[in-house]
Structure 1
Amino acid sequence: MAKAKTPSAADPSSAPNVAPVPAPASPSESELLREPAELKYRRELEALRQNEADQAPAAWQLSPRSVLTYITGAKKPLKAKIDGKEVEVAITRKFFGDDSIVERSIVTLASERALLLVGDPGTGKSWLSEHLAAAISGTSLLTIQGTAGTTEEQIKYSWNIARIIAEGPKPENMIQSPCMLAMRAGKIFRFEEITRCVGDVQDALVSICSDKTIAVPELPDDPMVFARPGFNIIATANARDQGVNELSAALKRRFNYIHIPVVSDQKTEVEIVRTRSAELLERYKIPGRIEEPVLKLLTTVFREMRQGATGEGLSVQKPTTTLSTAEAIGVALDAAIHSRYFGTGTVGPEDIARNLIGSIVKEDLADLKVLKEYMSLVAKKRAASDPAWKLFHDAAVKVLSA
């Protein structure tokens, strides 16, 4: 059997069959509907690189401390030379959960163990995964989305069938997966919703996690792909999917599990909704912002229905839908767009009420009764003394009775 070639210490592009890692699009190119983190926050990443005071692990763009600062934010702006000008760059907060979650994630990625972020829908798993990859590797694009149709070839590699028929298996005829590209370049590979893949497909990661290699038996002269320093895996899993395609015991041992809880503190949730909705409104070029009282009303409704209890201690039914912070952001954005094109342009409680039903009542129509109960037991009572709740209640009743 031919001896496997040992990867050289040269640049990855010098190795056979290596495609360059996709670089972030240039800001001068046409606008994107959604910019990847490394492009949207490139000024912050560059400022952190220029102010780096600690040693970074092999192939990392930033040190662990700087990665933490990038995700959790900095108190003071950093001075940096951006696009040829000396400027001060504010490092904004990207993840509004417990900072220890981010710290443990960074420590895991600095080791040889893979990272699995687990949580309910809308808790920010993919958001955190993207920003970790952007800060560590400079790209968050080496990603696959797990589904019931995901195959082992999508994780490892496949072939250009037409060229295989004409020329046979050659390195240049291989279609490399994002995982293989990440291994060869020493980057972070992201695997979204891993538990939606069947077990046999998941187990394709066992040898990648443990041996850091991918075997290519079709190429006897070059049968192994070796991971370079800096390579690691971030996977995400929906807590509600657990048990559907449970990870095997072998794969579980190779992942460090970090659970991301639903935000329960209203102050934090208001801050998240305010920040993310402002970013989305800017993206869609919707003028104005959502005022604080409206944000508090929105997050109060979500928190109380999610917990099944009001601030006054009254028990209410919980809907089957996961009322995540991401859903609250969606309601805020829809309300702002509705107000811009069909209203006064100022988002009020009535705009929140009109767009609330679509986030709470999804597959189970019984949730419609849950929402009506909340309006009659909670919103109606508060409407008697609070003008904002009256506007909210009256608009909601009108929508629910239509």
Structure 2
Amino acid sequence: MTETVLRPFAEQAYAHELAALAAADDRERPPSWRLSPWAVVRYLLGGTLPDGTAITPKYLGPRRLVEVAVATLATDRALLLLGVPGTAKTWVSEHLAAAISGDSTLVVQGTAGTGEETIRYGWNYARLIAEGPSEKALVPGPVYRAMADGKVARVEELTRVPADVQDSLITILSEKTLPVPELGLHVQARPGFSVIATANDRDKGVNELSSALRRRFNTVVLPLPDSVDDEVAIVARRVGELGRSLALPVPDAGLAEIRRVVTVFRELRAGRTEDGRTAVKSPSGTLSTAEAISVVTGGLALAAHFGDGVLRPHDVAAGLLGAVVKDPVADRVVWSEYLETVVRERDDWADFYRACRELAG
């Protein structure tokens, strides 16, 4: 049951919404899809169904980007979600898989140690030694299972995967076939199979995609939120969801602090204040929306367990310091200058300034 786990899968957490969308969805569905492309977009962006069911937004961003992503998956093209850290690439890929296949768990987590068998298949070595190569000894990987079942597979942080392992996807994406030479067979993808990969465009030079592999993907770049209001809404919604699973206070009472955290992140990222009047130095870190969510969630935990349950400046100050100061020398100078030249000058930020200044030293 979803209430007994810390973080349910998307298809579990939003099962009611997915069921309501499926019941109301009278549009044509691609083979093996649980919903039509129109309904998948509605699931991602939110809205109200004719029966009054509210579909919560999973992504706040340009509608056209979501439509392009869904249309790509309705063809035989794979989808690459590209963007800086914190632009909801993983979040979007999970919800796309949940809405299309009803299963977001076919995931390859890309790391420097990801091997080819993680993407393709491995072996039950006890059985392999006892019986020799056989289908019973074969252990299908997530991509293998997605091909066999006509579902969406997800490859997270593709550019973290070694180049030779990346190239194992080329045949799969172009021929829709996965050879198993040990058994003399080929796994042919069933209708509905596709791959959603994510990549961090700050990872250029780590394991860049070959031109041959990149051609197999349609790339959609997910941008950072356009405005403070959009980013505050994203942070508040995700913190609320995380807070419910962790039994933390509802963040509505702390919206002022959420807005301050978001404003700080946006100004340090952009290298200027929101009004454009003051230039500021940027730290070495990315200061993503995901990090803002982490800072606020940590602040709520402090407020709940060591305060009065209301998010206040001293609850988020330590998290901000940790998020901004990644380089203990250069970033500390950047943070101190920002506090003195920007935060200190804002009359309604006096308590926030004091809380941050006490920790900054």
1:395 matched to which residue of 2? 355
Larger C-alpha radius of gyration, 1 or 2?
1
Say which of 291, 299, 303 aligns to 1:339: 303
2:74 matched to which residue of 1? 110
1:29-40 equivalences under 5 Å are 31-40=4-13
- Output the CA distance in 2 between the equivalents of 1:44 and 1:363: 44
1:90-239 equivalences under 5 Å are 90-220=54-184, 223-239=185-201
- Output the CA distance in 1 between the equivalents of 2:203 and 2:240: 31
2:37 matched to which residue of 1? 64
- Output the CA distance in 2 between the equivalents of 1:264 and 1:318: 19
1:298 matched to which residue of 2? 261
The answer to whether the aligner puts 1:367 opposite 2:327 as a matched pair is no
Letter in 1 for 2:207: N
1:281 matched to which residue of 2? 243
Superposed displacement of residue 150, structure 1: 0.7
* Kept in 2: contact 1:48–1:78 (CA 8 A): no
SS at match of 2:58: coil
Instruction: State the Cα RMSD in Å.
Output: 1.3
- Output the CA distance in 2 between the equivalents of 1:294 and 1:161: 54
Letter in 1 for 2:9: P
* Alignment deviations for residues 306-329 of structure 1 (CA, whole Å, 9 cap, x no partner): 111113410000011001111111
2:19 matched to which residue of 1? 46
The answer to whether the aligner puts 1:322 opposite 2:295 as a matched pair is no
Letter in 2 for 1:243: G
1:252 matched to which residue of 2? 214
* Kept in 2: contact 1:216–1:225 (CA 8 A): yes
- Output the CA distance in 2 between the equivalents of 1:105 and 1:72: 13
Q: Once structures 1 and 2 are overlaid, which stretch shifts more, 211-220 or 126-135?
A: 211-220
Superposed displacement of residue 127, structure 1: 0.4
Superposed displacement of residue 354, structure 1: 3.0
- Output the CA distance in 1 between the equivalents of 2:285 and 2:335: 11
- Output the CA distance in 2 between the equivalents of 1:149 and 1:353: 36
- Output the CA distance in 1 between the equivalents of 2:64 and 2:70: 10
* Kept in 1: contact 2:124–2:137 (CA 8 A): yes
Say which of 220, 223, 231 aligns to 1:261: 223
1:21 matched to which residue of 2? none
Superposed displacement of residue 161, structure 1: 1.3
Structure 1 pair 363–181 and aligned structure 2 pair: CA distance change class (3 A): farther
- Output the CA distance in 2 between the equivalents of 1:364 and 1:125: 29
Superposed displacement of residue 92, structure 1: 0.4
- Output the CA distance in 2 between the equivalents of 1:289 and 1:261: 25
1:5 matched to which residue of 2? none
Superposed displacement of residue 77, structure 1: 4.5
Structure 1 pair 263–364 and aligned structure 2 pair: CA distance change class (3 A): farther
1:14 matched to which residue of 2? none
Where does the alignment leave 5 or more consecutive residues of structure 1 unmatched?
Answer: 1-25, 80-87
Q: Once structures 1 and 2 are overlaid, which stretch shifts more, 176-185 or 342-351?
A: 342-351
* Alignment deviations for residues 148-200 of structure 1 (CA, whole Å, 9 cap, x no partner): 11111111111111111111111111000010000000000000001011111
* Kept in 1: contact 2:249–2:310 (CA 8 A): no
Structure 1 pair 365–41 and aligned structure 2 pair: CA distance change class (3 A): farther
* Kept in 2: contact 1:49–1:62 (CA 8 A): yes
- Output the CA distance in 1 between the equivalents of 2:112 and 2:137: 27
- Output the CA distance in 2 between the equivalents of 1:211 and 1:170: 24
Structure 1 pair 241–364 and aligned structure 2 pair: CA distance change class (3 A): farther
Size of the aligned set, in residue pairs, is 359
Superposed displacement of residue 363, structure 1: 4.3
> Normalised by the size of structure 2, how large is the TM-score?
0.97
> Normalised by the size of structure 1, how large is the TM-score?
0.87
* Kept in 2: contact 1:281–1:287 (CA 8 A): yes
* Kept in 1: contact 2:21–2:49 (CA 8 A): no
- Output the CA distance in 2 between the equivalents of 1:344 and 1:370: 32
Superposed displacement of residue 365, structure 1: 3.5
Divergent runs of 4+, >4 A = none
Superposed displacement of residue 126, structure 1: 0.3
1:23 matched to which residue of 2? none
Q: What is the percent sequence identity of the aligned residues?
A: 46
* Kept in 1: contact 2:72–2:78 (CA 8 A): yes
Letter in 2 for 1:301: V
Letter in 1 for 2:220: I
SS at match of 1:171: coil
Structure 1 pair 363–157 and aligned structure 2 pair: CA distance change class (3 A): farther
Structure whose residues are more often helix by fraction? 2
Superposed displacement of residue 287, structure 1: 2.5
SS at match of 1:170: coil
Superposed displacement of residue 121, structure 1: 0.8
